[in-house]
Amino acid sequence: MTETRDKRASWIKDILILSFIIGLLFSFMLGSRSFWEPDEGRYVEIPREMVATGNYVTPRLDGVIYLEKPVLFYWMESAAIKLFGLNQWSMRLWPALLGLLGCIAVYLAGRSLYGRPAGLIGATVLATNVLYYGLARIITIDMPVTSLLTISMLAFLLGTREPLGARRRWLMWTFYAFAALALLAKGLIGVVFPGMIIGAWILIRNDWRLLRSIYLPTGLVLLFAIAAPWHILVARANPTFLHYYFIRQHFERYLTTVAHRYEPVWFFVPIILAGLYPWAVFLFQALRRSFPTSWAECERERDALYLLLWAGLIFAFFSFSDSKLITYIVPVFPPLAILIGRYLAPAWEETPVRGMRAGLWALLAASFVFAVLMVAAPRLTAGNPNLGVYIAMLRYYLYAMAATLMTGSVAALILAYRGHPRRSLVVTTVMGGLFLSILSSGLPLMNDRYSVKTLAMDLKPLLGPHTEVMNYHAYYQDLPAYIGRTVTIVGFKGELAYGTTLENDSAWIIGDHTFWRRWQSVRTIYMLTTRKLYAQLRASGRGQFHLLAASGDNVLLTNSEARK
């Protein structure tokens, strides 16, 4: 009894410590950066409009029906607005919390599968790699779907290790419930990925009897009870939803270049290696350590095989898609983190790990290359004025990051050679955390390049209840979120094009003819556009354009001289 109580206390202590440390890392300067274009503006504006209109079924972007993604993240962000108001911190709270939740899930599974050191190292590997950390601080749906899929997939694996009974049943129901939530977060991959991975796992091991003990009937009822209601309601409100959402946004996006996001089949290889930094240097060793070398070993290494299939099949799925974005690949990071944690676990007990020193040499080499590039960046970008602006802004942060990488890599290697592999891992973790924190502290300097917040703050005090605000031949998706209202969009539809076919949005999605008629009226209008378009408008001689403010590449204009 005492042993059980001590073991439970150890688990709770680890969870609390990890939550505190990773929570600090993810929350550092969380609200300091503006809503960057376009994703963050979009995923703030849609829930803002939900709260403003009270319609939580049909998502709208600038008042236009927007059916590209499911609704769960919008609901979560709407709850954040109601609880904490609309601000940069509150809107990034859910990605940070879900990122933390994914790390805790990796700890729990890693410890259950391979012991406490593997769980602790796996959680820190996940928290301190570049791409996962970045998504924990960006307002997109990629972190929600990654975290929910992680919990779902790990619950299933842990459930198969339990005997029939209440504990197994609850773990399986957790699997179905979180798969349904993942479906509501980003669509069919929430159920396609688990089905694909588990099906391959069963097939390779020839363990079809497992299907009789995963509570499939009740699990499917739970899945449909969670995921189906919104799909039914939105389909009733929007008759074309089912075809557009499932055929266009899932199958055509995957099988064709309709989304204009084509990349070569090897695209995600460098993304994984760079995104998993600094821990990517141990990836090859971890995969080799866990890869079954015979059919018999597939059963002995059943858990590792599951994790390998999880990472490998998702990697293959997206690699062969005709639509690729960097963030798509993040769901492979949790299983890879567990495998790396397993590989490095002996180091936690000060036991030498074969290949660890080679990995640390690779880390030093990679850090040296990064450091040289960071220090030399001003000279390397001398011929590119646009890129040079960014480098000039971040120069001292780049130097600090370079120093952090070199110092940490050298110290980790020295400690490993002196017989302190555990301290070497701690130093590598601290180095990763400091590197990411320095990077985060410098990014707000680029706000005016990726956000119109400065212009929005200049504009907001000038607005009356019926003042018209225009975006000319562009749509600044963060602007409505900052000024608290939708805007008129001139000569641009982009991703709003489909929604404009469902309703008559011609009052605020207008062409140039309507624009000139309104702009030349006596009513005061404010407009945001680029400096280049502003110069073209002035040269046209067709109306008055008074410059109120400029920020980055954008300007705020009015047609009323009194406001100049």
Q: For residue 319, what pLDDT is reported?
A: 92
Please report the sign of the dihedral spanned by the C-alpha atoms of residue 46, residue 50, residue 51, residue 53: positive
User: What six digits make up the tokens of 94?
Assistant: 């859910």
Is residue 446 exposed (0-12), middle (13-18) or buried (19+ Cβ within 10 Å)? Answer: middle
In degrees to the nearest 10, what's the CA dihedral of 133, 116, 144, 248?
100
Tokens representing residue 367 in the block: 């850090």
- Beta bridge mates, 529: 555
Cα–Cα dist 119/340, whole Å = 10
- Work out whether the CA dihedral 444, 445, 451, 457 comes out positive or negative: positive
Q: What is the pTM of this model?
A: 0.94
| pLDDT of 12 | 92
How far is Cα 134 from Cα 285, in angstroms, rounded to an integer?
25
pLDDT (tens digit per residue) in 49-68: 999 999 999 999 999 999 99
The most distant pair of C-alpha atoms in the chain lies apart, rounded to whole Å, by 86
Distance CA 62, CA 487 (A): 7
Give the 3-state secondary structure of residue 49. helix
Other C-beta atoms lying within 10 Å of the C-beta of residue 136: 27
Question: Is residue 296 classed as helix, strand or coil in its secondary structure?
Answer: helix
Strands of the sheet with 468-472, listed across from one edge = 509-510, 488-490, 468-472, 525-530, 554-558, 546-551
- What is d(CA 410, CA 390) in angstroms, rounded to the nearest whole number? 29
Residue 11's nearest CA partner among 102, 99, 118, 107 is 107
List 546's β-bridge partners, or say none. Answer: 558
DSSP label of 500:
H
Confirm if 129 and 102 have CB atoms less than 8 A apart: no
The dihedral of CA 347, 353, 357, 363: what is its sign? Answer: negative
User: How is residue 178 written in tokens?
Assistant: 């979180």
Q: Which residues of 154-229 form beta strands (DSSP E)?
A: none
Closest CA to 154 of 310, 327, 44, 365: 310
For residue 78, what pLDDT is reported? 98
CA–CA distances in Å: residue 64 to residues 49, 50, 73, 436, 491: 10, 12, 18, 37, 15
The pLDDT value recorded for residue 564 is 47
DSSP letter at 243 equals I
Q: How far apart are CA 257 and CA 139, in angstroms?
A: 25
User: Up-side HSE of residue 403: CA atoms within 13 Å toward CB?
Assistant: 7
Chain-centre distance for alpha carbon 557 = 34
Check if the beta carbon of residue 112 is closer than 8 Å to that of residue 31.
Answer: no
Rg of the Cα trace of the chain? 26
Mark the ranges of the chain whose per-residue pLDDT is less than 70: 1-3, 254, 256-261, 562-564
Which residue's entry shows tokens 């990773």?
A: 22
Q: By the 8 A CB rule, do 222 and 180 touch?
A: yes
The tokens describing 22, both together, are 């990773």
Give the tokens for residue 91. 């809107």
Report the SS3 class of residue 65: strand
Q: What are the contacts of 196-201 at 24+ separation with CB within 8 A? A: 196/313, 196/317, 197/153, 197/306, 197/309, 197/310, 197/313, 197/314, 198/156, 200/309, 200/313, 201/302, 201/305, 201/306, 201/309
Helix (H) or strand (E) holding 490: strand 488-490
Closest-CA residue to 66 (of 87, 82, 89, 43): 43
What lies within 8 Å, CB to CB, of 235 at 6+ separation is 241, 242
Spatial separation of the C-alpha atoms in residues 547 and 564, rounded to whole Å: 7
Pair 452, 460: CB distance under 8 Å: no
CA distance 291 to 9: 33
Residue 86's SS3 state is coil
Domain ranges of the chain: 93-242+249-348, 356-446, 453-563
